[in-house]
Amino acid sequence: MAERADVVFVDGVRTPFGRAGEKGMYWNTRADDLVIKAIIGLLERNPNVPKDRIDDVAIAATTQTGDQGLTLGRSAAILAGLPKSVPGFSIDRMCAGAMTAASMMGASIGYGAYDLAIAGGVEHMGRHPMGSGVDPNPRFVAEKLVSEDALVMGATAERIHDRYPHLTKERADRFALGSQQKVAAAYEAGKIQQDLIPVAIRTEEGWGLATKDEAPRPETTIEGLAGLKTPFRPHGRVTAGNASGLNDGATVALLASGEAAEELGLTPKMKLVSFGFAGVDPEIMGIGPVPSTEKALRKAGLSIDDIGLFELNEAFAIQVLSFLDHFGIADDDPRVNQWGGAIAVGHPLASSGVRLMNQLARQFEEQPGVRYGITAMCVGLGQGGTMIWENPNWSKKAERKSRKG
């Protein structure tokens, strides 16, 4: 059997994320066009990549219907101008769709079956709300396998508050405010825009260009968050302010073997170390990243203390807080979501995994003193996903210097 090949993250891009619904900037934009535009942008940024050398295109979507269906990886590849010899497929692991696409393509590269692959995801929650058109098997409820509201993500988040009462609404609101502030600061510093692919949009005012995320609310205050309604439970703790919104957007990444990257003159931004997916009770799905991270760390032979940067998907503030609390990490630890997260920029379900990778890769470039980083997220129906990455810019000297600082 061939030795395992190095798997590297070469580049990742995304569209700006929009607000879902008739007032959102992508209301008149097709879902497949979002991911097609992202693939075109990715390839334009990497002209050294021969299109006919791409071995597969894996594109995730949670609601695979209409313009978000039809074996999206294959159809988007053709429409993005890839040769018809390049295959593609679609994949679904709800929120962790793009993360699963990246991990499966990474595994295929590591095994030696692929040299180059594209992985990503798209979700147009305006056109295709989560759960629309599905028909859950009645056995789930009839046999009490799950509760009736296990697919109501906000209800599952309320249960984390129940389980960990010391993780209060006030802490969740403070974390949410921090996310908004960090995203605003990252935009001000030009950190996020560098990986955004502009998208032509059509609105009532005419044609325009989407160049930035639509959802951030930099004017957010702790007082404003405290007064928001709790839609999932009377006198609850989960609000629209301390949760991610309903969003539209697409992401794609280019993965390669270390050998192919060297041959083509590509500069890796990250190296894949390990990944793990784990299941938990669907009713409390937000704790999923805890066992998936423990599994990924175990596979890598690392501990949580080895991780210098965390990009955690902020489906709900309480979900991130439960992860941090489990691993003994402070709510405001500077290693966590340095440029903010989904509470501010949005969470177009299946696309979010690659957004986390993009941000981690950029932070690696700026911080050669950090060797390992994590991208992790919770997943509907009770799952968690984690990928551990190594910084190719890391040096022991820089690490010692950063620790002294």
Structure-token pair, residue 7: 């798997």
Catalytic: 166? no
- The active-site residue out of 124, 128, 161, 347 is 347
- Choice among 95, 124, 128, 161 that is catalytic: 95
Active-site residue flag, 128: no
Tokens for 184?
Answer: 């605003």
Amino acid at 106: G
136: left (phi over 0), alpha (psi -120 to 50) or beta: beta
- List the one residue out of 59, 62, 53 whose CA is nearest residue 33: 59
Contact in structure between 269 and 392 (CB atoms under 8 Å): yes
> Exposed e or buried b for every residue in 217-246, given b needs 16+ CB within 10 A?
eeebeeeebeeeebebbeebbbbbbbbbbb
Quick one: which of 251, 227, 236, 226 has its CA closest to 346?
251
Q: Is the dihedral of CA 350, 376, 104, 94 positive or negative?
A: negative
Bridge partners, 210 (sequence order):
199
Residue 176 CA, chain-centre distance (Å), reads: 17
d(CA 403, CA 405): 5
Catalytic option among 124, 128, 161, 378? 378
CA–CA dist 365, 308 (Å, integer): 13
Judging by DSSP bridges, how do beta strands 206-210 and 199-203 pair with one another?
A: antiparallel
The total number of residues shown for the chain amounts to 405
Q: Are 31 and 121 in contact (CB under 8 A)?
A: no
The yes-or-no answer on residue 95 being catalytic is yes
Q: Which two tokens stand for residue 100?
A: 């699963």
3-state DSSP assignment of residue 205: coil
Annotated catalytic residues are 95, 347, 378
